[in-house]
Amino acid sequence: MSGRLDGKVCLVTGAGSGMGRAAVVRFSREGARVVAADVDLAAVRESVALAETAGGKAFAVRMDVSKEAEVRVGIQAGVKAYGKIDVLYNNAGIFPAADHSVTDTDEAVWDKVFAVNVKGVYLVCKHGIPELLASGGGSVINVASFVALVGCSVPQDAYTASKGAVLALTKSLAVQFGPKGVRSNAICPGPIETPLLAAWLFKEPAEKTKRLNRIPLGRFGKSEDIVNMALFLASDESSWTNGASLVVDGGITSNYF
């Protein structure tokens, strides 16, 4: 039985845990060869092992997406291993506990968030899109967030602003490279049960309940909920989807009161 990504080579950043790990396993199971990139090499090797156990093909590279030299080398390693790249899945991101309002967030925290969440997307696209063009076209998938679409009375302003920047950049990429066969789209996840979220939110029952009550479907998202959307965008099924901001949030952004 053929997979939805047969013949494709997909680069996944932030592939060492959470949504990135789920994408490595699912994409490889659907027939893709996956270049799994993460700043934590041991963690991303675990993701690759899980993919291979499931019968897929994946290759681990260490990549700090905020460092251009590492991004360039990582992408070149992926091309050397598999001959091309068809999909860029910009999943890497950080969400520091010290990120609050603009009035009380340290400059160093702000800069770090933007270095990973925005500069990282820029660098992967800078070095990855030429590879997509060389392979005849492909798909850029950028992970933004529902917080880029709505305000929050408990702010994380660096994260929110960084994800808004990702949405704007996605639109620009869609217009620039769509005529050349490269479509670019963003996914806006709602609260997802990942280690990133659990590290702080699940330790505070009141904060967890407050957010859960805002989700009409009554649960936090799973990594697979987002990866299912990413799979559609990585596949040829989305051949006429370009410049979209696809919200996968259980309805939280539709909940007025």
User: Annotated active-site positions, please?
Assistant: 159
- Distance (Å, rounded) from C-alpha 89 to C-alpha 23? 9
Taking alpha carbons only, the member of 86, 50, 61, 27 closest to residue 224 is 27
* C-alpha gyration radius of the chain: 17
What token pair was written down for 141?
Answer: 């998938």
Task: Give the chain's end-to-end CA distance (angstroms, integer).
Answer: 46
User: Which residue type sits at 231?
Assistant: L
CB proximity list for 206: less than 8 A, separation 6 or greater = none
Taking alpha carbons only, the member of 19, 1, 51 closest to residue 141 is 19
Which position has the token pair 């407050």?
Answer: 210
Which position has the token pair 């939280």?
Answer: 252
Q: Phi/psi class of residue 134: alpha, beta or left (left: φ > 0; alpha: ψ in -120 to 50)?
A: alpha
Where do runs of H (alpha helix) occur along 118-156? 119-134
Find out whether 107 and 210 touch, Cβ atoms under 8 Å: no
Find out whether 88 and 132 touch, Cβ atoms under 8 Å: yes
Three-state SS at 168: helix
